A and B are shown apart, each in its own frame.
Chain A
C-alpha cells in the first residue's frame, strides 16, 4: 500500500498494511531545512520544498500545504506582524474598531494575501507526490476564522451581545472556508483539514457548538466532498470529548484528538470515525525518543482491534521539536513496536 491507500483504508476501517502515521509537521519543516519560519509562511515554493525534504527525512504518510492561522484573516484585510523565527500574528484585525462586515468582501483565493502562495504549495506538493502521499491543505473553521477576523475576546462578546451580527460574521467565515478549501482541492490538495481550535469546548459551551457551529461545519464539509475531497478531517484542539458525538452529523471522516482526550473515550464516542492523535505536542520538544516510542506503541495497541486510527500528535508538533522524537513516532508505526 502507498500512503494514500493506507490512510484511506484506515478511514474506511479496512485493515491497512501498517498503522498510517501523520506527523503534524508544519513550521518544523522550515526548522529542519534551516529556513526562517517567517519566510516559510510567505513563500509557497519554499514551503513545498521544505515539506518534501521533511517527508524524505521522516518518511511519514502526509505533507501539509499549511502556513499558519492568519492566512484567511490577512486576505480579508487584517494586518499582520511577521518575525523571522515565529509564526506571524495579527496586528490589526480586519473587523476591529467597529468595522462593518459590509465593508469587506470574500477574498479571492487566487489573488488575496498569501492565499495564492498556499495554493502554489498545494500544487507543487501534489505534483511531487502524486497519489502516493496525502497532500493536506488547511482552512480555518467558521468559529476560528470569526475570532481571527475580530479578535477572540471581541468575537465572543459579540456572540452574546449581538447574536444576529455574529451569525452574519460566521456565515461570512463559512463562505471563505468553502471557497478557499475548494480552491485548494482544485490546486491539488487531497483534502483541506479544517482547523478549528476556537470551537473547542474549552472556549464555547457544548450547546453553542451544536446550535451555531455544527450546521456551518456540515455545510463546509458537504462542499468539500462535492469538490472531491478524499476525506473530511476536523481538527479541534483541547478537551473536545463532549462534542465528539456530534461529529458524524457534521460529516467528519477523520477526527483529530488532542492529548486532553482519552483515546478510549473517543473510541466509544465515535465508534465509526477514524481518529488521529494524540501524543502531547510538548513531548516532541522535551521528551526522549524512548518515551515517544512507548507512547506510540501504547496508542497502536489501544487501536489494534478497532482500526480506524492514524498515529499522530495531539496538535501541531512544535517547530523546535527534536527530530529524533518525530522519527521515533514514525518508526513505531512502521515497525509496529
Chain B
C-alpha cells in the first residue's frame, strides 16, 4: 500500500492509478485500497497542511490523483464505496468562484464522504432541497465575497423551518472564514478544507 500512498502524496495521478491497478490485480479489496491507501494519504496530507502551511497546488495535485484512483476503482455503474455520510456543497448565489468548493469536494470524496455538488452561484433553496432529498449529514458553503454573508445567515433558519434542523451547516472560503460561526448563524466555520473535514468526522460519529 505504501507506493500508492506515496504516489498520492506526490500528486502523481498516473503512478497512483497504476499502483491502485496493481493492488486490484493482486486481489486487494477496493474498500481496503480506500481505507488503507487513500485515507492514509489524506491523513498525512492533513497533518502536513496546517492552517499556516496550507498549499492549494499540493492539495489539488493530490486531490486529482485521489479522484483518478476512485474513478478507477468505482467507474460509473459500479456500486460506490461505503460512505461516512452525504455532504451537499455549493458556492452561494452571487459567487461564481468555485475553487474552494472544488477543493473541499476532493478532500471529502477522498475521506469517503458522498458529496453532492450543487455548483456555483447556487440559490439557497436549491441547496436546502438537495440536502433534504439526499438525507444529508451536512451542507457546506464556500464563499469568496463578504456580500454573501446575508444569504449564509438564512440557511440554518430556513432548514429548521423545513424540519431539517438536524443537518449541520458549515461555511468556509476566503471571505466567510473571516467571520465567526455565531455571526454567520452556522454550526462551524472551516479555516481550510481539512479543517472542515475534521469537523464532519466528529459529527459523523467519531470516525477518524
Contacts and interface: CB of A to CB of B under 8 A. Distances in A.
B111 interface: no
Interface size class of A (residues with CB under 8 A): 20 to 34
Interface residues of B, number: 25
Given A205-B55, A286-B179, A286-B183, A281 B146 contact: yes
Contacts of B179: 282, 286
Nearest to B175: A282
B35 interface: no
Contacts of B96: 81, 89
Given A81-B96, A153-B102, A280-B178, A319 B57 contact: no
Nearest to B98: A153
B25 interface: no
A156 B149 CA distance: 29
Contacts of A239: 51-52, 54
A157 B60 contact: yes
B2 interface: no
A59 to B, nearest CB: 25
A160 interface: yes
A153 B60 contact: yes
Interface in A19-45: none
Interface in B35-82: 51-52, 54-58, 60-61, 64
Given A86-B94, A239-B52, A204 B57 contact: yes
A201 interface: yes
Nearest to A283: B178
Given A157-B64, A282-B175, A282-B178, A319 B147 contact: yes
Would you list the 6 A-B pairs with minimal beta carbon distance, nearest first?
A282-B178, A89-B96, A318-B146, A203-B56, A156-B57, A204-B57
A152 interface: yes
11 contacts: A89-B97, A156-B56, A157-B60, A160-B57, A201-B55, A202-B55, A203-B56, A205-B55, A205-B58, A281-B146, A285-B149
B197 interface: no
Given A81-B96, A153-B99, A153-B102, A204 B56 contact: yes
